[in-house]
Amino acid sequence: METKIRIALQKKGRLNDDSMKLLKEAGIKFNVGSGKLVASSPNFPIEVLFLRDDDIPQTVADKVADIGIVGENEMLEKGFDLNISKRLGFSRCRLSLAIPKADEYKGLDYFEGKKVATSYPVILKKYFAEQKINADIHEITGSVEIAPGIGLADGICDIVSSGSTLVANRLKEVDVVMESEALLVAAPELSAEKQALLDEIIFRINSVKAANSNKYILMNVPNDKVNDILEILPGMKSPTVLPLADDKWSSVHSVIQEKKFWEIIGQLRNKGAEGILVIPIEKMIL
């Protein structure tokens, strides 16, 4: 019988969208129908469970699923012993403290003796303890941001992405408790077969991530400027230099990081490179 690995994913929302996109880019497809909570892959030995994001840590910890993609905030709040296999870099957000917009804020002492509503009491309690703040923490599930407006709390601690929800409820962000991103987590002590499947998934994800953060470039360079150009180009190992029909020119190929793209392109042009082509990389095997 073929060994399969089971992954737990958020059933809907931004984390689901980003997770499914990543797995698709990694060549893993799922037979997903409307409303299905379990799906299999026709081209990889994997099965997916679609769950609420706050149920994922326990599902993996109990080994109902072998691995999962979950927000770092949810993993820390639940406190289960899970292995972080890969930081995925998407679904970034922050867990922040916020207070009524009209209130004056001079520091964390504002929260001393105050009521704070949150869906993350474990994280917040630890944070306040570290900061030596004695606050009254009220756990609320859903619509935390309305708590100050209805007199339930003096402030809140909640997930913030754009901050538009805070503005809509006349709140202002005053302190960041933690930064969060999506994590690929695994249950402890996977079997050798399932660990091999997880390693293959991570290998594919790394290839996708490397491709997304790099660009393939090729350009025409006068032969007497090739060495100057090679000093600029980082390359994976060494740029490729090919002769052109015009024996005074060469074609130079390389890979550059997207974050350095415009800086490097400017240097290449100044050194005499012409006809620069920039090509997206679909996959990059390191």
Which CATH number goes with the domain that contains 236?
3.30.70.120
* Edge-to-edge strand list for the sheet holding 171-180: 136-139, 115-118, 155-160, 93-100, 171-180
Q: Distances in Å between the alpha carbon of 86 and those of 5, 128, 154, 205, 247? A: 16, 29, 37, 9, 48
**Average pLDDT of span 119-124:** 96
Q: Are residues 137 and 186 in the same domain?
A: no
- Residue 185's domain comprises 5-91+181-211
Listed residues 179, 197, 231: the one ending a domain: 179
What's the pLDDT score for residue 238?
76
Among 163, 179, 195, identify where a domain stops.
179
Q: Is residue 215 scored above 80 in pLDDT?
A: yes
> Are 104 and 237 in a shared domain?
no
Note whether 151 and 264 are same-domain residues.
no
Segment 31-56 mean pLDDT: 88
Identify the sign of the CA torsion 15, 21, 22, 23: positive
Residue range 98-118, pLDDT digits in tens:
999 989 999 999 999 999 999
Indicate if 109 and 170 belong to the same structural domain: yes
Q: What is the mean pLDDT of residues 251-277?
A: 87
What is the chain's mean pLDDT, rounded?
A: 90
Residue 114 lies in a domain: yes
In this predicted structure, the answer to whether residue 149 has a pLDDT above a threshold of 90 is: no
Asked if pLDDT for residue 35 goes beyond 90, the answer is no
pLDDT for the residue numbered 100 = 93
Of 190, 211, 232, which residue constitutes the final position of a domain? 211
Same-domain check for residues 205 and 221: no
* Average pLDDT estimate for 135-152: 89
Residues 56 and 117 in one domain: no
Q: Are residues 97 and 174 in the same domain?
A: yes
Please list, in sequence order, all residues whose beta carbon lies within 8 angstroms of the beta carbon of residue 34, skipping any fewer than 6 positions away. Answer: none
Q: Are residues 254 and 131 in the same domain?
A: no
Asked whether residue 124 is assigned to any structural domain, the reply reads: yes
Predicted pLDDT at 286 = 67
Q: The CATH number of the domain where 82 resides is what?
A: 3.40.190.10
Do 192 and 87 belong to one domain?
A: yes
Rounded average pLDDT over 263-276 = 89
Q: How many domains does the chain have?
A: 3
188 in a domain, yes or no? yes
User: Does residue 128 form part of some domain?
Assistant: yes
Mean pLDDT computed over 151-165: 88
Is the confidence at residue 259, as pLDDT, over 90? no
In a domain, 285, yes or no: no
Same domain for 147 and 123 = yes
In this predicted structure, the answer to whether residue 34 has a pLDDT above a threshold of 90 is no
The answer to whether the CB of 245 falls within 8 A of the CB of 220 is no
Given a cut of 70, whether residue 88 has pLDDT beyond it is: yes
- Whether 197 contacts 177, CB under 8 Å: no
Taking the complete model, does pTM exceed 0.85, yes or no? no
Question: In this predicted structure, what is the pLDDT of residue 96?
Answer: 95
Both 172 and 201 in one domain: the answer is no
Give the pLDDT band of residue 157 (cuts 50, 70, 90): very high
Q: Are residues 64 and 186 in the same domain?
A: yes
Angle between helices 192-212 and 14-25 (to 10 degrees): 90
pLDDT at 257: 83
pLDDT tens by residue, 220-238: 999 999 999 988 886 556 7
Kindly state whether residue 286 falls inside one of the protein's structural domains: no
Q: What confidence category does residue 130 fall into, taking pLDDT thresholds of 50, 70 and 90? A: very high
The highest-confidence range among 8-17, 163-172, 273-282, by mean pLDDT, is 8-17
